[in-house]
Amino acid sequence: MALSSVLQTHPAGFNFDNVARNSALEGLFEGGQTPKPLKTGTTIAGVVFKDGVVLGADTRATSSEVVADKMCAKIHYISPNIYCCGAGTAADTEKTTDLLSSNLSIFSLNSGRNPRVVMAVNILQDMLYRYHGQVGANLILGGVDCTGNHLPPRLKKLPARLAARQQIPNKFFNLNIMRLFFCSLSFRKIKYKYRPGTTAVLTEKIVPLKLEVVQESVQKMDTA
């Protein structure tokens, strides 16, 4: 094998080489059924319902054909109201979610409130796009904030949990572990919106303000 081919590295950025290949293969299956894609690797899922969000993930981490860890934590803590499922390169998902969590922690310390989900999404988009596909982190972000719960579709509580479980099948005979995370909107059951005049005025006092003009001058604006 030539040394040049051994040292050759993949160019930076996204790779769309398979797009042309798939388009060419579709012409070979005219009138027939195209082969279905094979699902491998990590399975993560997220479901939102009327009162919260359910996130689910398997726990198997692999290195090529070797099961490196059967108890890998793939649901990452972001903030008290936001969690994130991660798939891809374990180191990339850990570092990406840790950076996001630290940034939002600084915001919470400065503002004294929990961050919004859209804030976490914007930070993730900027962070991942900055490396143009070189960070192998495929993430599902979900949580609740003052604007509601974020992660479609909307289902009831029990079907949401079942739907998350059904999306993560027991694909391996030695894998009987699955983690589910449930984030509820219990702290936001009441909408605090009041019409003008709802609160009664108990007392009213009008104090006249006395002003004395000490100096007055008029200047014309130069419009030339």
Catalytic residue among 34, 42, 59, 199: 42
Beta-sheet strands, E only, within 27-81:
44-49, 52-58, 61-63, 66-69, 75-79
Determine the Cα–Cα distance for residues 108 and 19; give it in Å rounded to an integer. Answer: 43
Amino acid at 92: D
Determine the Cα–Cα distance for residues 98 and 204; give it in Å rounded to an integer. Answer: 53
Report the b/e string of 198-221 with b at 16+ CB within 10 A: eeeeeeeeeeeeeeeeeeeeeeee
Count of all residues that appear for the chain in the document: 224
Quick check: helix, strand or coil at residue 191? Answer: coil
Q: Establish whether 42 is a catalytic residue.
A: yes
Enumerate the active-site residues.
42
